[in-house]
A = this chain, B = another copy of it.
Amino acid sequence: MEILKNKAMEVAMKVKKLGQDDPRRIIHSIKVGVALTLVSLFYYWRPLYDGFGASGIWAVITVVVIFEFTVGATLSKGFNRGLGTLLAGGLGVGVDYLANLSGQKGEPFVLGVFVFLIAASATFSRFFPGIKARYDYGVLIFILTFSMVSVSAYRFDEFLTMAYQRLSTIVAGGAICIIICIVVCPVWAGETLHNLVTSNLDKLGDYLEGFGGEYFYCCDDEEQVTSIEKDKSFLQAYKAVLNSKSMEDSMANFARWEPKHGNFSFRHPWKHYLKIGSYARQCAYHIQALNTHLNFQPPNPSQFRTIIQAPCNTLSSESGKALKALATAMKTMSDPSPTSLVHLNAAKSAINDLKNCLKSATTQTPDEPSNLLAIIPDATVASILIEMVKSVEDLCEAVGELSVKAHFKSVEGSVAVEKPQLLHRGAIKPFVEAEGEDENGHHVVITVREIENEDSPQKKGSSDTNGFVNKK
């Protein structure tokens, strides 16, 4: 009895936590309950029952099957169900007509052959990636309805009455679903996607902002130890970005179906979020590489580390700030370039500082001239941070493109009036890069980044479409 009570308490706690984490879950459950109770009226309420009879059950089935958490998913399923039912119904009636021509004996055979052929080829079509992603459910309904129509038509004479009753109850059930889904506290797939991508950028930014402090933190500093123990969570949060692809893909697929909501229009560039997501994952892979170095604290920090500390710290925190500026711009749906470019350029200037430090590193540390081995971990961190800036730049470009495509509001109102078409194109000149790179001729690391850039598959077709960040 005690065990049962504990178990019940445990479940209750879990339920409470699930509900607190996202109260929309509770609202969704209530919405489904209400929708089902409403369609039950087709049975309970005499006038409706007299009209539709046993077909009322199809309203119930429709509600259960198409009511999804997000509006986009519900609309997508509703559309798929409607289209699949109509197409299959029409085809079923046609096939039935053909089968009738072949006489009493031949009819079942003709029907059987058609059911086989159409079910097999429709099943095969579900392997096409394009159909799988968007119309999988529609094809399923198509097969279902076609089999049901052609098969039951063989036995029912009042076929057309039944078809009419079923179709109208399906439409009624679908309509109730969609109305409740959209009107009562709607959960938009598009908004979810927008928030997901935004919070991923935030997580990456948090990590990079905090990385310098974690990596270069000195063991003597007691206070710092305490503060680190407090908020270690940002060191793990980025891991959610690594496996975010499937969630983003499905949300983008659903978002296409959604009408205008909040700040998002019907033709909001949802596909573009996948590009941002892909760059965010690139960035997360770099962080993953950084993270393996995080807990390496040498007993005596080398002089090399002391030298690179300042520029690396700046590099990391400015990259992080650039990402967080992008996230803020997305949250407020405003032009990201002003703030993010400032930080991006600060990061780029830190690269130059770092390079200068590296150039002079050996001469400054005569006491550890030959121990390349000892400096390799620090050098690797520096190198990864330098590459990270490339990812951050990609992200700045991608979010900049989004802000153009989605007509994010401009921060500089006065400029927008005069020449709006130039607004997102290097409004702030990335002065440091242009200055630094052309003069001191350190092409080694820069070259790495440039070629990597060409190699990246997502890059193709993007670099020529925008000039958001001035490139040399």
Interface residues of A (CB under 8 A from B): 14-15, 18-19, 25-26, 28-30, 32-34, 36-37, 40, 43-44, 49, 54, 56-57, 60-61, 64-65, 108, 111-112, 115-117, 119-121, 123-124, 127-128, 140, 143-144, 147-148, 151-152, 154-155, 242-243, 245-246, 281-282, 285-286, 288-289, 291-296, 298, 355, 358-363, 369-377, 379-380, 382-384, 387, 442, 444-445, 447-449, 451-452, 454-455
A25 touches B127 (CB 8 A): yes
Q: Is A292 touching B40 in the complex (CB atoms < 8 A)?
A: no
Q: Are A372 and B361 in contact (CB under 8 A)?
A: yes
A112 close to B37 (CB less than 8 A): yes
Instruction: Give the chain B neighbours of A40 by CB distance below 8 A.
Output: 111-112, 115, 147, 151
Q: List 26 A-B contacts (CB under 8 A).
A: A14-B128, A29-B120, A29-B123, A32-B123, A43-B151, A44-B108, A44-B151, A57-B151, A57-B152, A60-B147, A60-B151, A64-B144, A65-B140, A242-B281, A285-B288, A289-B384, A291-B455, A292-B449, A293-B448, A296-B451, A359-B373, A362-B369, A377-B383, A377-B448, A380-B380, A380-B384
Evaluate contact between B376 and A372: CB separation under 8 angstroms. no
Using known A-B contacts A124-B26, A296-B447, A372-B361, determine if residue A116 contacts B34 with beta carbons closer than 8 Å.
yes
Give complex CA distance A111, B44 in Å.
9
The 5 lowest CB-CB distance pairs between A and B, nearest first, are: A33-B120, A29-B124, A44-B108, A380-B383, A295-B451
Is the beta-carbon distance between B117 and A33 smaller than 8 angstroms?
A: yes
Q: How far is the CA of A127 from the CA of B19 in the complex (A)?
A: 9
Closest to A354 in B: B373
Q: B residues within 8 A CB of A380? A: 379-380, 383-384
Among A14, A28, A120, A373, find the residue whose CB has the most chain B CB atoms closer than 10 A: A373
Query: Are the CB atoms of A123 and B33 closer together than 8 Å?
Result: yes
> Quick one: closest B residue to A49, CB to CB?
B155
Chain B residues lying within 8 Å of A245, measured Cβ to Cβ, are 243, 246
Chain B nearest Cβ from A301, distance in angstroms: 12
Compute how far the CA of A293 lies from the CA of B33 in the bound complex, rounded to whole angstroms: 56
Which B residue's beta carbon lies closest to that of A302? B444
Q: Which residues of B contact A28 (CB under 8 A)?
A: 123-124
The answer to whether A154 and B43 touch across the interface, beta carbons within 8 angstroms, is yes
Known: A151-B43, A285-B288, A387-B292. A64 touches B143 (CB 8 A): yes
Docked-complex contact A376 and B243, CB < 8 angstroms: no
- What separation, in Å, do the CA atoms of A374 and B444 have in the docked complex? 6
Question: With A18-B124, A293-B448, A377-B445 given, can you name 17 additional A-B contacts, CB distance below 8 Å?
Answer: A33-B116, A37-B119, A40-B111, A40-B151, A56-B151, A60-B148, A61-B148, A64-B147, A245-B246, A285-B289, A291-B452, A293-B452, A294-B455, A295-B454, A358-B373, A372-B375, A376-B379
Say how far A390's CB is from chain B's closest CB, in angstroms: 8
Q: Which residues of B contact A34 (CB under 8 A)?
A: 116
Inter-subunit contact A36/B362 (CB<8 Å):
no
Q: Which residues of B contact A19 (CB under 8 A)?
A: 124
Query: B15–A376 contact, CB under 8 A?
Result: no
Q: Which residue of B lies closest to A444 (CB)?
A: B374
